Structure 1
Amino acid sequence: MSSVLITGASRGIGRAIAVELAGRGHRVIATARHPRDLADVPADLRLPLDVTDQASVDEAVGAAGEVDVLVSNAGATVRAPLESVPIAELENLFQLNTFGALRVAQAVLPAMRERGSGRLVFVSSVQGRVVLPVIAPYGASKWALEAIAEGLALEAGHFGVKVSIVQPGAVSSGGAERAKAFFADDDPYLPLLRQVGALRGESVTPEEVATVVADTIEHPAPALRVPAGLPAEKLLRARKDAPDEIPFLPARLDW
């Protein structure tokens, strides 16, 4: 069984991944900004880890021992039109969703490269391939994450490190409900915000995503991109088949 370090394991998808992997007999290293939130997460180790803080990353990876697999899951989202999203909020998203993921990957990669084996699994989103209105700031951070992950696959694959990107669609984890929104009372983009639910489509559970992540970890030759659930598969297929000449939308918008 593998030794798996999970970022953002205190709730939602990360917690479900810890439960699934522990049930399969893997050594689980659960991490979160606040270790108290990991008290009831099944894990061999529970460590504080803030992916936006280099010292925190270095300390956690040092305390984790050998890491066979990194599941990079920590992330957040916002709702805002690009015309008015606060740049500071966009920077925060990239620090967490994109730079934070790379920061932890950089910390575990040297040992994996020296061993000639290891796995990096990035929990992305269909929005790493599909832009949705008023969620585009989040999508931008995931598009960038997927470019980083693909680059790592090209570079580190030479040393025996396998990289996969798991792409859920809407997930019933509460993340969307917790998202900060930046709209004025008379914001002209409010009609789009009201239709976000329909655009995101049918949701899957965190447990369904966790099963896909665990299966990807255990697959001898995992794909680079792995849709998590039938809704994600359908949406990504539709995006692939759509012409690039016009912006793609998964559903009709009525203003």
Structure 2
Amino acid sequence: MPTYLIIGASRGIGGATAQHLADQGGEILGVSRNPAAVGHWIEADIGTVDGISKVVKAVGDRSIDGLLYLGGVWEKGAFTDEYDFLSSPAEETLQLIAVNLTAPILLAQGLAQNLAKAGSGKIILMGSMSGVQNTASREVANTASKFGLQGVGEALNLSLREHRIATTVINPDNVTTPEVVEDIATGVFGDQAPIPMEDMTATIDYVLRVSADAVPSVINLRQIKLEE
């Protein structure tokens, strides 16, 4: 039975992926601040060093087949007309970078030995099309954190190669999470066809099944119908 540690397991892409992998027979360790509906819940704020340490301690010395960093935060009013870079407080920026960029680095470092035990450990980092060259959005801290994940992924593939741990960054456009569906329905987002969740979980399945002899380092998932 494969074991997956999923960050952001209580909702959105993380929650759907946790259910998907559990349905396939995987053991799920779900990390979030709010209760996770699937698997063993580890309550932690991964935006803090204490929260990272709590997760690493909870995992102990068990083997982990996949570290799936599927959570994240963004600025107040992000992706709407309410966002104002000049009004974004310093505390918001620091917390966002801590959650979106620093935490994945520290978790990869703290759990590398657990992933190595699997023989072909996988790290999946959830980026965004905002973090792809020439497709940035105007949310400065969020975009910076997603750009940064590209570098994290490349460096981890070099640093952890000898341990046979592979890192993939997945950069999607909007996905059919309940939050995105509601934002489209209420007019917060323009009319569009988000990426089906089934496509996201199929992409994650692919990454998890690639052999230890190869790594899809970056995968970009674009919408066919963007905001009008």
Equivalence for 1:121: 124
| Separation (CA, whole Å) in 2 of partners of 1:131 and 1:11 | 25
Equivalence for 2:95: 92
Query: CA, structure 1 residues 132+14, in 2 after alignment: closer, same or farther (shift >3 Å)?
Result: same
| Separation (CA, whole Å) in 1 of partners of 2:193 and 2:45 | 31
Matched, 1:67 2:60: no
What is the CA RMSD across the aligned residues, in angstroms?
Answer: 2.9
1:141 alignment partner AA: S
Between Structure 1 and Structure 2, how many residues are aligned? 213
1:54 alignment partner AA: V
Equivalence for 2:220: 227
Alignment of 1:22-37 (within 5 A): 22-34=22-34, 37=35
Q: Does the CA contact (< 8 Å) of 1:170 and 1:201 recur in 2?
A: no
Query: CA, structure 1 residues 136+206, in 2 after alignment: closer, same or farther (shift >3 Å)?
Result: farther
Q: Deviations over 1:169-190 (max 9, x none)?
A: 01232556999xxxxxxxxxxx
Deviates most, 155-164 or 170-179: 170-179
Q: Unaligned regions of 5+ residues in structure 2, if any? A: none
2:72 alignment partner AA: G
TM-score by length of 2: 0.80
Query: CA, structure 1 residues 49+214, in 2 after alignment: closer, same or farther (shift >3 Å)?
Result: farther
| Separation (CA, whole Å) in 2 of partners of 1:71 and 1:100 | 12
| Separation (CA, whole Å) in 2 of partners of 1:178 and 1:201 | 12
- Name which of 164, 169, 174 aligns with 1:165: 169
Cα deviation for residue 33 of structure 1 reads 1.4
Query: CA, structure 1 residues 210+149, in 2 after alignment: closer, same or farther (shift >3 Å)?
Result: same
Matched, 1:208 2:212: no
| Separation (CA, whole Å) in 2 of partners of 1:93 and 1:71 | 18
Cα deviation for residue 100 of structure 1 reads 1.5
| Separation (CA, whole Å) in 2 of partners of 1:75 and 1:10 | 12
Query: CA, structure 1 residues 178+100, in 2 after alignment: closer, same or farther (shift >3 Å)?
Result: farther
Q: Does the CA contact (< 8 Å) of 2:20 and 2:201 recur in 1?
A: yes
Instruction: Report the identity percentage.
Output: 22
Query: CA, structure 1 residues 175+77, in 2 after alignment: closer, same or farther (shift >3 Å)?
Result: farther
Alignment of 1:1-255 (within 5 A): 1-34=1-34, 37-38=35-36, 41-43=37-39, 45-64=40-59, 65-78=62-75, 79=78, 80-113=83-116, 117-129=120-132, 130-133=135-138, 135-175=139-179, 197-198=189-190, 202-220=193-211, 221-228=214-221, 230-231=222-223
Between structure 1 and structure 2, the one with the greater Rg is 1
Q: Unaligned regions of 5+ residues in structure 1, if any? A: 180-194, 236-249
Query: CA, structure 1 residues 177+141, in 2 after alignment: closer, same or farther (shift >3 Å)?
Result: farther
Q: Secondary structure at the match of 2:123?
A: strand
2:137 alignment partner AA: L
TM-score by length of 1: 0.72
| Separation (CA, whole Å) in 1 of partners of 2:90 and 2:179 | 21
Cα deviation for residue 226 of structure 1 reads 1.5
